[in-house]
Amino acid sequence: MNHLSIDELLEELRRRRWVVYIFGPREEPEVWAAVFQWDTCADVLILRGEERASAFRVATAADTDVFRPALVSWQYHSTADWTLRAVLTIPAPGESAAPIQLLQPHPDCVIPMEARRPVTILPAIPAKADQGDP
């Protein structure tokens, strides 16, 4: 069986145009996160190491802090590789299997404000770059 590595799964997030946030010194980040914004919600991934990761879907409005959700409609907490696999396979909003139940978020769904600086933001890869165009 072919198992993708964590690096390959992270590259797949970038290929799918997730925005990446590196919290702490870029050389040794304390927390690594990624966000994919849909029309009415966001999928969020938070990595705190190979053994501790969380992913969740949160409804969004103009003032939503995706790193401090009040409620989530889906959440998953495990190792980095399993959490990456889970967030990459969650059904898109509006699909019949998409989660809709509102849940209290696990404490690992939160990145405290004091842990968010310094931050490096890697924007989503533009569609043209993904297709190999200049």
Task: Tell me the pLDDT tens digit for each residue of 73-98.
Answer: 999 999 999 999 999 999 999 999 99
pTM of this structure: 0.89
Task: Tell me the pLDDT tens digit for each residue of 25-52.
Answer: 878 889 999 999 999 999 999 999 999 9
User: Residue by residue, what is the 3-state secondary structure of the chain?
Assistant: CCCCCHHHHHHHHHHCCCEEEEECCCCCCCEEEEEEECCCEEEEEEECCCCCEEEEEEECCCCCCCCCCCCECEEEEECHHHHHHHHHHCCCCCCCCCCCCCECCCHHHCCCHHHCCCEEEECCCCHHHHCCCC
Q: Where in the chain are the domains? A: 6-130
